[in-house]
Amino acid sequence: MSRFSRITGTGSYLPPRRLSNAELVAELAAKGVETSDDWIVERTGIRARHFAEADVGVSDLALHACRKAIEAAGCQAADIDLIIVATSTPDMVFPSSACILQNKLGVAGCPAFDVQAVCSGFVYALTLADALIKTGSASRALVVGAEVFSRILDFSDRTTCVLFGDGAGAVVLEASDVPGIWATDLHADGKHVDILCVPGHVSGGKASGSPLLTMDGQAVFKLAVGVLEDAARAVLAKAGKTEADVDWLIPHQANIRIMQSTAKKLKLSMDKVVVTVDQHGNTSAASIPLALDTAVRSGKIKKGDTLMLEGVGGGFTWGAVLLDY
Ligand code: ACO
């Protein structure tokens, strides 16, 4: 009998401090940075984002999301035999946020590691967990996307600081006799490192180079719309399915215009696209599991629906996962 993996529970968490565009615009104006609600909404679709308090780390946000996912799956933390955290804003340089999270969950022993693929991180992590379950190395994985991008934003750069937010999302992925995950498709092209990066590193006891995010927004936009279409078509072909089989597209939540363009290329109505960027901003690796959990808990996504998850981000990295929920 074939062995597949299937999502059995989802969870998410947003830190309580919510900033509407108007509130962020006022905070930035006090620092001499000029922007507007109109510009942010028109160019990105973002209306609000959440920022974590200074003493809250990625593992704290992840812990809340994981508890909800574990509860939804009807299991206990002790039943988890693999933890993968996708993040670009880890608690420490090392050990991994996954190890820190494992300890906060009150368990020990199972493998735990981080995946670094920026905004594609959750799709990468889900693909890895699927592969480890299919080969029998794991049976019940916790797959997490969690970020505190507010820590790496340059609040004097209006072209980036209005775009991002903090949050976490998680799924429990279990071995199953039926799919579950139909197909996955991952890619990277390292020649685009410079268009979206945090170039600094830790050296000699201090941050060497800039520890803040820099982005060529237009270059990212152009690459993103191309590769998202390619990844969607590739994963459908691998699964032997067509666009018509997709009930919900859950793209990385960076910009409503990228999502509209992807939906149009795939001939999917925007009614079939899960959109949370308006309320969450771009939460990088957390954005897809946050959107998934929001749509599951609102009743939009139902058991058996076919979902296309699509990530794209720094690296440049991109990929897609096609699954039955
Ligand atoms: N408020 C007001 N004006 C602004 C702001 C702002 N916050 N930011 C930029 N502007 C101005 C610019 O200075 C420019 O002014 P100018 O014409 O006088 O020079 C004008 O707005 C237009 O700027 P553009 O960069 O051309 O704006 P664009 O329409 O391309 O939108 C954006 C910018 C939103 C960043 C867009 O390019 C985009 O969404 N790119 C993709 C970003 C993305 O998806 N990033 C995440 C990838 S995932 C990851 O790995 C993190």
- Which tens digits make up the pLDDT trace of 188-235? 999 999 999 999 999 999 989 999 999 999 999 999 999 999 999 999
Cβ-contact 287, 277 below 8 angstroms: yes
CA distance 115 to 121: 6
For residue 36, give Cα distances in angstroms to 47, 206, 210. 11, 35, 26
CA distance 47 to 65: 23
How confident is the model over 26-82, as pLDDT tens digits? 999 999 999 999 999 999 999 999 999 999 999 999 999 999 999 999 999 999 999
State whether the beta carbon of 282 lies less than 6 angstroms from ligand 1.
Answer: yes
For residue 9, give Cα distances in angstroms to 14, 64, 75, 81, 235. 18, 14, 9, 15, 23
Q: Whose CA is nearest to atom 38 of ligand 1?
A: 217
CA distance 155 to 171: 32
Q: Whose CA is nearest to atom 10 of ligand 1?
A: 159
CATH fold match for the domains 4-176 and 181-324: yes
State whether the beta carbon of 223 lies less than 6 angstroms from ligand 1.
Answer: no
CA distance 5 to 323: 9
What pLDDT sits at residue 210? 95
What is the per-residue DSSP string for 40-87? Answer: HHHHH---EEE---TT--HHHHHHHHHHHHHHHHT--GGG--EEEEE-
Phi/psi for 4 (5° steps) reads: -125, 180
Written as six digits, the tokens of 231 are 């990844």
State whether the beta carbon of 118 lies less than 6 angstroms from ligand 1.
Answer: yes
For the whole model, what pTM was predicted? 0.96
The Cβ of residue 131 has, within 10 Å, a number of other Cβ atoms equal to 14
Task: Confirm whether 192 is a catalytic residue.
Answer: no
Q: b/e for 226-257, b at 16 or more Cβ within 10 A?
A: ebbbebbbbbbeebebebeebbbbbbbbbbbe
Enumerate long-range contacts of 215-220, CB under 8 Å, 24 or more apart.
Answer: 215/159, 215/160, 217/159, 217/160, 219/192, 219/195, 220/195, 220/196
Phi/psi for 95 (5° steps) reads: -70, 175
For residue 32, give Cα distances in angstroms to 118, 153, 234. 30, 16, 46
What pLDDT sits at residue 1? 73
| Domains of the chain, residue spans | 4-176, 181-324
Mean of pLDDT values over 166-187: 97
Quote the mean pLDDT of the chain. Answer: 97
**pLDDT band of 143, cuts 50, 70, 90:** very high
For residue 151, give Cα distances in angstroms to 28, 51, 66, 147. 16, 9, 22, 9
Question: CATH top-level class for 181-324?
Answer: alpha beta
What pLDDT sits at residue 234? 97
Residue of 159, 227, 258, 316 to test ligand 1 pocket, by largest number of atoms within 8 Å of CB:
159
How confident is the model over 86-110, as pLDDT tens digits? 999 999 999 999 999 999 999 999 9
Q: Whose CA is nearest to atom 14 of ligand 1?
A: 159
State whether the beta carbon of 284 lies less than 6 angstroms from ligand 1.
Answer: yes
Among 50, 66, 110, 252, the active-site one is 252
CA distance 68 to 172: 10
State whether the beta carbon of 224 lies less than 6 angstroms from ligand 1.
Answer: yes
Q: 312 in helix, strand or coil?
A: strand
What pLDDT sits at residue 241? 97
Query: Ligand 1 center to residue 15 CA distance, Å?
Result: 26
4-176: what fold?
Peroxisomal Thiolase; Chain A, domain 1 (3.40.47)
State whether the beta carbon of 33 lies less than 6 angstroms from ligand 1.
Answer: no
DSSP assignment letter at 106: T
Among 119, 161, 255, 280, the active-site one is 119
DSSP assignment letter at 183: E
Query: Ligand 1 center to residue 162 CA distance, Å?
Result: 10
Task: Confirm whether 103 is a catalytic residue.
Answer: no
CA distance 62 to 78: 17
Written as six digits, the tokens of 321 are 């996962």
How confident is the model over 249-264, as pLDDT tens digits? 999 999 999 999 999 9
Task: Confirm whether 282 is a catalytic residue.
Answer: yes
Q: Is the peptide bond before 316 cis (omega within 30 degrees of 0)?
A: yes
What pLDDT sits at residue 68? 98
State whether the beta carbon of 162 lies less than 6 angstroms from ligand 1.
Answer: yes
Query: Ligand 1 center to residue 74 CA distance, Å?
Result: 43
State whether the beta carbon of 219 lies less than 6 angstroms from ligand 1.
Answer: no
Q: Whose CA is nearest to atom 8 of ligand 1?
A: 159
State whether the beta carbon of 160 lies less than 6 angstroms from ligand 1.
Answer: no
